[in-house]
């Protein structure tokens, strides 16, 4: 039974979902890092919010971990690179708290425009300072969105409802999407110069860190108001402090800070700063939504292989997962076939091409290619899976090409994996028998039909009389039983392939003897 550890406070409904789907669940919030490392080893899944830090050290101790589920959008507290290297899927829930966070940004915009927190404090103190709190209207103002994804687009919709003009800087925003949202896509410099109010809705990456730097703030319109409900670190806080003190920035409303919990910060001393303690996702609806969503996503992955909202792996919907599973297994075994032979020849991998024909051509190819890479690299690296195989391939400069062939095929589906090394090129193709069972149909352009077996012996030879008898006799003398025997040749007297399934491992001395047989060019053992 798969085991789930929930190490942060999560809705009881999430626990109910895990248990209803057959998981053993332990709810252990508040553990110290050392306590968490001490117990993490047997768990298949780790469900967290923002308190748990999933570090490289924790991942090294998590020997059975397959998935980390973050109930929320930010994964700053997860070492995604280390998780990927260990083949652990990292998921988040980007949609569960999108509306809540967007509404908080709108609330802070109103609070900033009308100085609501300061006016509340003044009035409660017995003052009636009507003339002190002169606000500004949002109507007809230009709102600049830095980031226009899930949350930013909701903010845009609400702002347009307030009759604001919305401009957006987002490298991933297409012109068609901007038109559909009713926003104007602009360059960052243009946004800084034009916006009356700037709100940030982008992840914290090396590219976005300090996106509102001292230099960027200097380019903003005098009197601009700035809102950040995304991530601390997007704004240079020292530069913002100076700009607020100088009056260049009229006010700021911040829900996030570079260091959290933010119990001390120079910005707190400024009257024109509104602060909240990272409340963007803090509604009962959002907490329930992200908890339910992360439980469903993790359960689907561990039970069916479905991958939703993964940071480090191609998505596979719950509906597609059962249909893709046999195709992924076919791709993995084809990759493993090519990888084991490449390892045996000690060639340096340069390029892999994966061709999809027939029914395979109409599928989502990203997980299929990841499966082929996992098979290809598994003989060379321990712990390779679909999560870390694409990264390992990129790190080693392996060129990866996918080709979809829309042409008639003698098979309902066909996948061909071609591997190029410094020394040679090799291809292997396969299909699905009865729609589910992977089967080899071609090796190096030679037709050879065979099932994948746990123990196989692959031999290339010259097609001459006498080889099969000598080969069979050698195996018999070694006490190795042949389960199946498959032959193929390019032409009479030309190159031939012999693929044999055996009941046990072929010892190295026997393999050497096969290699010494007359007419043999190559011999290798294969395991599937």
Pick the CATH number of 314-448 from 3.40.630.30, 3.30.1330.90, 3.20.20.10, 3.40.190.10: 3.30.1330.90
315-365 pLDDT tens trace: 887 778 888 889 999 999 999 999 888 865 555 788 899 999 988 888 888
Q: Could you give the residue range(s) of every CATH 3.30.70.260 domain in the chain? A: 453-528
| Tens place of pLDDT per residue across the chain (528 aa) | 889 999 999 989 999 999 999 999 999 999 999 999 999 999 999 999 989 999 999 999 999 999 999 998 888 899 999 999 899 999 999 888 889 999 999 999 999 999 999 999 999 999 999 889 899 999 999 999 999 988 999 999 999 999 999 999 999 899 999 999 999 999 999 999 999 999 999 988 888 999 999 999 999 999 999 999 999 999 999 999 999 999 999 999 999 999 999 999 999 999 999 999 999 988 888 888 899 999 999 999 999 888 888 988 888 877 788 888 899 999 999 999 998 888 655 557 888 999 999 888 888 889 999 999 999 988 888 788 888 888 888 887 888 999 888 776 678 889 999 998 877 888 999 999 876 899 999 998 888 899 999 999 999 888 888 888 999 899 998 899 999 988 888 888 788 899 999 998 889 999 999 899 998 888 889 999
| Bond from prior residue into 294 cis (ω within 30 degrees of 0) | no
What token pair was written down for 441? 């149909």
Pairing between β-strand 413-421 and β-strand 425-433 as defined by DSSP bridges = antiparallel
d(CA 471, CA 198) in angstroms, rounded, equals 76
d(CA 107, CA 92) in angstroms, rounded, equals 25
d(CA 209, CA 206) in angstroms, rounded, equals 5
Q: What is the pLDDT of residue 131?
A: 86
Nearest to 364 by CA among 412, 297, 307: 307
Per CATH, which fold does 453-528 belong to? Alpha-Beta Plaits (3.30.70)
CATH 3.40.50.720: does it fit domain 3-96+285-304? yes
Q: What is the pLDDT of residue 406?
A: 77
Which of 49, 86, 278, 416 is labelled catalytic? 278
Q: Could you give the residue range(s) of every CATH 3.40.50.720 domain in the chain? A: 3-96+285-304, 98-275
Identify the CATH homologous superfamily for domain 98-275.
NAD(P)-binding Rossmann-like Domain (3.40.50.720)
Pairing between β-strand 520-527 and β-strand 455-462 as defined by DSSP bridges = antiparallel
260 an active-site residue?
yes
- CB-CB neighbours of 1 under 10 Å: 6
Which of 201, 225, 231, 416 is labelled catalytic? 231
Nearest to 293 by CA among 479, 85, 47, 461: 47
Which of 57, 118, 184, 260 is labelled catalytic? 260
Helix (H) / strand (E) containing 286: helix 284-304
Q: What is the pLDDT of residue 394?
A: 84
The answer to whether 300 and 273 are in contact (CB under 8 A) is no
Q: What is the pLDDT of residue 445?
A: 87
Cα 324 versus chain centre, distance: 18
């Amino acid at each position: 039974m798969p085991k789930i550890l929930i190490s942060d406070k999560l809705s009881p409904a999430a626990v109910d979902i895990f248990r209803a789907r057959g998981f053993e669940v332990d709810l252990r919030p508040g553990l110290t890092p050392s306590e968490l490392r001490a117990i993490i080893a047997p768990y298949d899944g780790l469900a967290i919010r923002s308190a748990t830090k999933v570090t490289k050290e924790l991942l090294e101790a998590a020997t059975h971990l397959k998935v980390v589920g973050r109930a929320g959008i930010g994964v700053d507290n997860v070492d995604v690179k280390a998780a990927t290297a260990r083949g652990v899927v990292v998921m988040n829930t980007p949609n569960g708290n999108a509306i809540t966070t967007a509404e908080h940004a709108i609330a802070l915009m109103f609070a900033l425009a009308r100085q609501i927190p300061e006016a509340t404090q003044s009035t409660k103190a017995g003052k009636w300072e009507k003339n002190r709190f002169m606000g500004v209207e949002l109507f007809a103002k230009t709102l600049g969105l830095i980031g226009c994804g899930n949350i930013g687009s909701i903010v845009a919709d609400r702002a347009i409802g307030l009759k604001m003009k919305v401009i957006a800087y987002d490298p991933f925003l297409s012109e068609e999407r901007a038109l559909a949202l009713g926003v104007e896509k602009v360059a960052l410099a243009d946004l800084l110069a034009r916006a009356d109010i700037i709100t940030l809705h982008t992840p914290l990456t090396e590219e976005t860190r300090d996106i509102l730097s001292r230099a960027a703030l200097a380019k903003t319109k005098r009197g601009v108001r700035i809102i950040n409900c995304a991530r601390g670190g997007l704004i240079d806080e020292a530069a913002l402090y100076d700009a607020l003190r100088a009056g260049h920035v009229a006010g700021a409303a911040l829900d996030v800070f570079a260091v959290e919990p933010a119990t001390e910060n120079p910005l707190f001393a400024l009257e024109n700063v509104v602060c909240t303690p990272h409340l963007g996702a803090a509604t009962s609806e959002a907490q329930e939504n992200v908890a339910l969503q992360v439980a469903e996503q993790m359960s689907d992955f561990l039970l069916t292989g479905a991958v939703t909202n993964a940071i480090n792996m191609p998505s596979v919907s719950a509906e597609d997962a059962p249909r893709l599973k046999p195709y992924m297994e076919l791709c993995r075994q084809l990759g493993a076939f090519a990888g084991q032979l490449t390892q045996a020849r000690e060639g340096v991998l340069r390029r892999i091409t994966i061709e999809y024909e027939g029914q395979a051509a109409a599928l989502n190819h990203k997980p299929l290619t990841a499966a082929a890479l996992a098979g290809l690299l598994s003989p060379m690296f321990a712990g390779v899976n679909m999560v870390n195989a694409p990264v390992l391939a990129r790190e080693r400069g392996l060129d990866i090409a996918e080709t979809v062939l829309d042409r008639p095929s003698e098979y309902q589906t066909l996948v061909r994996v071609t591997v190029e090394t410094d020394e040679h090129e090799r291809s292997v193709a396969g299909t699905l028998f009865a729609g589910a069972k992977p089967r080899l149909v071609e090796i190096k352009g030679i037709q050879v039909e065979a099932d994948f077996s746990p123990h196989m012996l692959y031999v290339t030879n010259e097609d001459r009389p006498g080889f099969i008898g000598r080969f069979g006799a050698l195996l018999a003398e070694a006490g190795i039983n042949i389960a199946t025997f498959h032959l193929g040749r390019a032409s009479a007297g030309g190159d031939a392939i012999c693929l044999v399934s055996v009941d046990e491992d072929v010892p190295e001395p026997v393999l050497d003897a096969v290699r010494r047989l007359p007419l043999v060019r190559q011999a290798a053992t294969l395991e599937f």
